[in-house]
Copies of this chain bind each other. A is one copy, B any other.
Amino acid sequence: MRLLEQRIVKDGIVKDGDVLKVDSFLNHQMDVELFRQMALEWQRLYADCGINKILTIEASGIGIACIAGQVFGCPVVFAKKSKTKNIAGDVYTAKVESFTHGNVSDIIVSKSFLNPGDKVLIIDDFLANGAALTGLCQLVEQAGAELIGAGIAIEKAFQPGGELLRAKGIRIESLARIKSMSAETGVEFCEN
């Protein structure tokens, strides 16, 4: 999606350690008009798929997912990162490893809000190693819901998550796919 790529080039900052800072428009300050354009693109890509629920994960996925929920006309559910070790029995749960923070956390969704018959679109801001997306897919599977696919803002295509999950048959529509990046040369996007 040209609009997002152009914005990354304009306002994104590449830092050491494969870090791309996009906190001026995506995940700290949020440009909700950009989010709307992104949501319209996912709507075009997932037209006629019957999506009736959007699933994301706190915190930075929530804003994008809510604007997408407006465009798709469906409720949005966000998985919570559990801080408690005692998880009640009325939730679906998966483990997500954070490469950034070097820890493993449980993510949970109440069983009330993901159901068999749901046609789910997962939305998130980043896809890199695929840990969060894998966990969210597991929640959908536990619920017996149908995973239509994922809508990702920025995919670091030089990291393995996207390839791994597509190889499992999961449809992933990333609006900006980064082929390589460095503080010196900036960001290079994939052709397709």
CB distance from A78 to the nearest CB of B (A): 7
Q: State which of A63-71, A144-152, A180-188 sits at the interface with chain B.
A: A63-71
Q: Which secondary structure dominates where chain A touches chain B?
A: mixed
Assembly of this chain: how many copies?
2
Chain A interface residue count, Cβ-Cβ cutoff 8 angstroms: 32
Instruction: Tell me, yes or no, whether A22 is within 8 Å of chain B by CB.
Output: no
- In the bound assembly, the distance between CA atoms of A70 and B83 in angstroms comes to 31
A58-B59, A63-B76 given as contacts; is B101 within 8 A of A70 (CB)? no
Instruction: Tell me, yes or no, whether A31 is within 8 Å of chain B by CB.
Output: yes
- In the bound assembly, the distance between CA atoms of A70 and B73 in angstroms comes to 15
Contact bitstring A12-37, B, C-beta under 8 A = 1, else 0: 00000000000111001111110110
What chain B residues lie within 8 Å of A134 (beta carbons)?
Answer: none
Contact B110 A69 (CB under 8 A): no
CB distance from A115 to the nearest CB of B (A): 11
Residues of A bordering B, CB below 8 Å: 23-25, 28-33, 35-36, 58-59, 62-63, 65-67, 69-70, 73, 75-78, 80, 83, 101, 109-110, 112-113
Cross-chain pairs A/B with CB under 8 angstroms, 8 sampled: A28-B113, A29-B77, A59-B59, A59-B78, A62-B62, A62-B63, A63-B76, A67-B70
3 closest A-B pairs by beta carbon, nearest first, are A58-B59, A63-B66, A32-B69
